[in-house]
Amino acid sequence: MRVLITGAGGMLGTDARAFFARHGHQVIATDQRPLEGSGSEPLNIKDYASVRAVMQEHRPDLVFHGAAMTNVDGCERDPDAAFAANALGSWCVATAAQEVGAILVAISTDFVFDGTKDGPYTEFDAPNPLSHYGASKLAGERMAMQSCARTYILRTSWLYGTHGRNFPYTIMERARTQGELFVVADQFGAPTFTRDLLATAYQIMQTPLYGVYHVCNAGRTSWHGFASEILRMAGMPDVPVHALTSEECAVKFGTPTRRPKNSVLRRYALELQHKDVIRPWEDALGEFLAAANAHDKT
Closest CA to 159 of 133, 202, 195: 195
What is residue 84's DSSP assignment? Answer: I
Contact between 148 and 95 under an 8 Å Cβ cutoff? The reply is yes
Query: Measured on CA atoms in the order 106, 92, 71, 75, is the torsion positive or negative?
Result: negative
Give Cβ neighbours of residue 91 (< 8 Å, ≥ 6 apart).
Answer: 140, 143, 144, 147
What is residue 258's DSSP assignment? Answer: -
φ, ψ for residue 103, nearest 5 deg: -80, 140
Contact between 205 and 151 under an 8 Å Cβ cutoff? The reply is no
Contact between 292 and 236 under an 8 Å Cβ cutoff? The reply is no
Round to whole Å and give the CA distance between 85 and 78. Answer: 11
Helices within the chain (DSSP H only): 11-22, 48-58, 72-77, 79-83, 89-99, 132-147, 167-178, 194-204, 223-233, 246-253, 268-272, 281-297
What amino acid occupies position 118?
Answer: D
Catalytic choice (133, 152, 160, 210):
133
Round to whole Å and give the CA distance between 103 and 65. Answer: 10
Active site residue 133: yes
Catalytic residues: 133
